[in-house]
């Protein structure tokens, strides 16, 4: 089953950022492996009726991060992962959700210990 | 390709300039009687940009597009398309330009295909096959009389007409208001099908459509340009803030609405560091719809 992005044009997150985030998560989570091909700019743009330049922009950013490579003749391919920093890379991806959750917890005035316990429960409950 | 004969020395640099900035508007002022419709409008659209022109009814969107095309003459200021003065566009520039008016002006007694043939004859290059394909894809019958078409069908025909010569620059004034969502997506796909790096200026109230395709946003209010920037940058830089008290009026604070429960402000985090906000302030990013409401209400 070829990869299809979920794109919500009316979200507050710009479309290029939605694509970058999804590819980052899929690579970090192992759904996309080194050598896997990303859908072409044309295909993504046509499927979602979005500007091809926006898809290109997302791919260029992923390329600049070293997550994907432009292959001659083919499209974009997931790059070999450099070993060592993968946990910290994945942690960096988790950071925005943590910040949002922390902000909500503060606004709701939930005590620290209870917020941490709830997060632990969420993590373990998923197993 | 049909090329004009002008081979004087400055031609190369002129066309380079035209490619750098296909739409250029400086200090436009337009009034009807005592109504000031455009006020000191300046705009430079880079090549390949897809620009959403957005604003309330009567903000001056149609007037601006008509001035860009030289169809309306401003009292002062200048508009240039593809590097040329809009009041005096060459055939070469016209061949690279497409326009769809709010109310398409078609020739009612003609049949669809005959009309397109007639229009095509004015252009040095006319993409017959693409035109026929679009008619097919968009369910327009070549043999139907234009007078018998619905408003939506007329809009489709006007779009086919504007795409038939594969223009580098397209100016579209609410081109899809009468079309259903599926058809509007087909139209957005068609914008990117044939010409790479086409520059498009499109005025529309269908903001969720614009969010799919625009690279830049022009927000107009009462004849002035309130915001012009890259859309992705705006989406990531402008934030709605809810707080108890007014912020100081400084650059980076775009608007403040005071209501009984407190203040709603829009800040630009490139100029106003959100860490300066009071701790109780709640910030949120905005989509185009929210931005429209916050900045124009």
* Complex ipTM: 0.85
Asked whether the beta carbons of residue A17 and residue B285 sit closer than 8 angstroms, the reply is: no
B97-134 pLDDT, tens digit each: 999 998 888 999 999 999 999 999 999 999 999 999 99
Positions in chain A short of pLDDT 50: 84
| A17/B contact by beta carbon, under 8 A | yes
Mutation for testing the A interface, residue in B180, B183, B197, B213 having most A CBs under 10 Å = B213
Asked whether the beta carbons of residue B215 and residue A53 sit closer than 8 angstroms, the reply is: yes
Instruction: Tell me which residue has tokens 């430079």.
Output: B44
- Closest CB to B232 among A14, A48, A49: A14
Asked whether the beta carbons of residue A9 and residue B212 sit closer than 8 angstroms, the reply is: yes
**Nearest to B283, CA basis, from B256, B251, B227, B243:** B243
Distance from CA of B217 to the nearest CA of A (A): 13
CATH number of the structural domain B20-222 = 3.40.50.300
Cα–Cα separations (whole angstroms), residue B47 to A106, B17, B168: 46, 10, 9
Which residues of chain A have a CB within 8 Å of the CB of B237?
none
pLDDT of residue B229: 96
pLDDT of residue B211: 96
| A60/B contact by beta carbon, under 8 A | no
Which residues of chain B have a CB within 8 Å of the CB of A49?
185-186, 188-189, 212-213
Taken in order of first residue, the domains within chain A and their CATH numbers are 15-78 (1.10.10.10), 86-125 (no CATH)
Which residues of chain B have a CB within 8 Å of the CB of A16?
232
Lowest mean pLDDT among A54-63, A91-100, B142-151, B286-295: A91-100
For residue B198, pLDDT beyond 60: yes
**Nearest to A47, CA basis, from A84, A27, A19, A28:** A19
CB-facing half-sphere around the CA of A32: CA atoms within 13 A: 25
Which residues of chain A have a CB within 8 Å of the CB of B186?
49
**Nearest to A53, CA basis, from A4, A2, A3, A14:** A14
**Nearest to B3, CA basis, from B73, B72, B95:** B95
CA dihedral B270, B275, B278, B279 (to 10 degrees): 130
B248-257 pLDDT, tens digit each: 988 899 999 9
The percentage of chain B sitting over the pLDDT mark of 70, rounded to a whole number, equals 93
| A9/B contact by beta carbon, under 8 A | yes
B12-63 pLDDT, tens digit each: 444 444 456 899 999 999 998 888 999 999 999 999 999 999 999 999 999 9
What is the pTM assigned to this prediction? Answer: 0.84
Arithmetic mean of pLDDT over chain B: 91
Mutation for testing the A interface, residue in B207, B232, B241 having most A CBs under 10 Å = B232
Instruction: With H, G, I as helix, E, B as strand and everything else as coil, classify residue A80.
Output: coil
The 3-class SS string of chain B reads CCCCCCCCCCHHHHHHHHHHCCEEEEEEEEEECCEEEEEEEEEEECCCCEEEEEECCCCCHHHHHHHHHCCCCCCEEEEEECCEEHHHCCHHHHHCEEEECCCCCCCCCCEHHHHHHHHHCCCCCCCHHHHHHHHHHCCCCCCCEHHHCCHHHHHHHHHHHHHCCCCCEEEEECCCCCCCHHHHHHHHHHHHHCCCCCEEEEECCCHHHHHHHCCEEEEEECCEEEEEEEHHHHHHHEEEEEECCCCCCCCCEEEEEEECCEEEEEEECCCCCHHHCCCCCEEEECCHHHHHHHHHC
Domain spans in chain B, listed from the N-terminal domain onward: 20-222, 238-296
Which residues of chain A have a CB within 8 Å of the CB of B282?
107
Q: What are the beta bridge partners of residue B259?
A: B262
For residue B268, pLDDT beyond 90: yes
């Amino acid at each position: 089953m070829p990869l299809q992005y979920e794109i919500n044009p009316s979200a507050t997150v710009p479309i290029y950022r939605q694509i970058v985030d999804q590819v980052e998560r899929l690579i970090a989570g192992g759904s996309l492996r080194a050598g896997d091909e990303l859908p072409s700019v044309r295909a993504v743009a046509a499927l979602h009726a979005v500007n091809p330049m926006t898809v290109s922009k997302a791919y260029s950013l992923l390329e600049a991060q070293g997550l994907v490579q432009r292959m001659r003749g083919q499209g974009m391919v997931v790059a070999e992962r450099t070993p060592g920093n993968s946990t910290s890379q994945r942690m960096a991806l988790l950071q925005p959700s943590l910040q949002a959750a922390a902000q909500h917890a503060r606004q709701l005035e939930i005590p620290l210990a209870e917020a941490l316990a709830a997060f632990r429960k969420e993590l373990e409950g998923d197993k | 390709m049909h090329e004009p004969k002008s081979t004087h020395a400055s031609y190369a640099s002129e066309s380079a300039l035209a490619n750098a900035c296909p739409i250029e508007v400086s200090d436009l002022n337009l009034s009807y009687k005592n109504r000031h419709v455009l006020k000191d409008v300046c705009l430079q659209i880079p090549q390949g940009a897809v620009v959403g022109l957005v604003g309330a009814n009567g903000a001056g969107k149609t007037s601006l597009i008509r001035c860009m095309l030289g169809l309306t003459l401003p009292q002062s200021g200048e508009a240039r398309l593809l590097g040329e003065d809009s009041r005096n566009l060459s055939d070469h520039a016209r061949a690279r330009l497409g326009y769809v008016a709010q109310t398409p002006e078609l020739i009612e007694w003609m049949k669809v295909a005959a009309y397109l043939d007639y229009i095509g004859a004015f252009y040095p290059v006319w993409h017959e096959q693409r035109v026929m394909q679009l008619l097919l894809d968009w369910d327009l019958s070549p043999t139907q009389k234009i007078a018998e078409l619905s408003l939506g069908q007329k809009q489709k025909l006007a779009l086919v007409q504007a795409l038939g010569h594969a223009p580098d620059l397209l100016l579209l004034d609410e081109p899809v208001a009468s079309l259903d969502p599926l058809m509007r997506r087909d139209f957005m796909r068609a914008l990117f099908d044939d010409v790479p790096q086409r520059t498009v200026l499109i005025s529309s109230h269908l903001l969720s459509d614009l969010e799919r395709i625009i690279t830049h946003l022009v927000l107009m209010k009462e004849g002035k340009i309130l915001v012009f920037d890259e859309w992705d940058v705006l989406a990531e830089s402008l934030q709605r803030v809810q707080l108890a008290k007014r912020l100081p009026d400084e650059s980076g604070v775009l608007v403040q609405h005071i209501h009984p429960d407190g203040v709603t402000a829009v800040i630009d985090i490139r100029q106003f560091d959100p860490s300066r906000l009071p701790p109780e302030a709640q910030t949120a990013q905005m989509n185009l719809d929210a931005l429209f409401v916050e900045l124009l209400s």
